[in-house]
Amino acid sequence: MATTSKAVLLLGANSDVAKEAILLYVAKGYYVMAASRGVKELEAFSQKYALSKDKVHILYFDAVAFEEHKDFYSALPVKPNIVVYAAGFLKNNEEALLDWNGSFQMMKVHYCGAVSILNIVAMDPENTSLERIIGLSSLSGVRGRKSNFIYGSTKSAFTQYLAGMRQYLFKRNIIVNVVVAGYIRSKMTAGLQLNESLMLEPAFIAQAVVHAGGQFTIVPGMKWKAIYHILRMLPERLVSKLP
């Protein structure tokens, strides 16, 4: 481990946003524990950017292997100061309506897996250095829309979980943030027909994660901030006309 006094546990570290966050955290002097099923991909990424093992420690983590989460956390080389949950899975809404396994996978990755591991993190009495938990959510979870309500509902549940966890951990001075992102140019959205003018780069979202402040909801990008507030205030009869 590096000599830095701070450690980050990045769950779902093979996502495009998470990889950019790894680079930013390392640049700030953090020791990063990058956890994902995509260990080989992370190793290639680490080699590409010459990230030494004393800066980035790669671990296998499966968000939906709930029974393994306690052992995974117990085996960490160091207790984290910051935990970021960035695991994601996307299934087209029309396909998800016909494919229960696809719908259930989104539920397990975005909500069940997050609750499983983050409960373990938050309730560890030995980690008195925990200072922040950050979850990567989505504007799809702000209001139910006919084009993506299954995916959106899993993100909405995740956001509400984090909101309650923020209140629960307040007395321990632990900050909880949710990054509510719009369209991200990533491997998960590749092939989708999305408004190009609204696309955000993974590095931009990663900046919002790494530089999170004290507020709960973080919406990166001015256009998406406006969309977020409009969606929250829009009457249901108008929401029903959205795609």
Contact 146, 170 (CB under 8 A): no
Q: Which of 194, 165, 154 is nearest to 64 (CA)?
A: 154
Distances (CA, A) of 168 to 31, 172, 176, 218: 27, 8, 10, 19
Q: Which fold has domain 7-239?
A: Rossmann fold (3.40.50)
Residue 59 is predicted with a pLDDT of 97
Residue 9 is predicted with a pLDDT of 98
Classify residue 61 as left (phi > 0), alpha (psi -120 to 50) or beta. Answer: beta
Q: Please state the φ and ψ torsions of residue 14, each to the nearest 5 degrees.
A: -90, 0
pTM value? 0.92
Domain ranges of the chain: 7-239
Q: In what order do the strands lie in the sheet with 56-60?
A: 56-60, 31-36, 7-11, 82-85, 132-138, 175-181, 217-218
Q: Say if residue 122's pLDDT is above 80.
A: yes
pLDDT in tens, 130-182: 999 999 999 889 888 888 899 999 999 999 999 999 999 999 999 999 999 98
Residue 237 is predicted with a pLDDT of 77
Task: Name the average pLDDT for the chain.
Answer: 91
Which has more pLDDT, 231 or 31? 31
Residue 3 is predicted with a pLDDT of 45
Confidence of residue 76 (pLDDT cuts 50, 70, 90): very high
pLDDT in tens, 25-37: 999 999 999 999 9
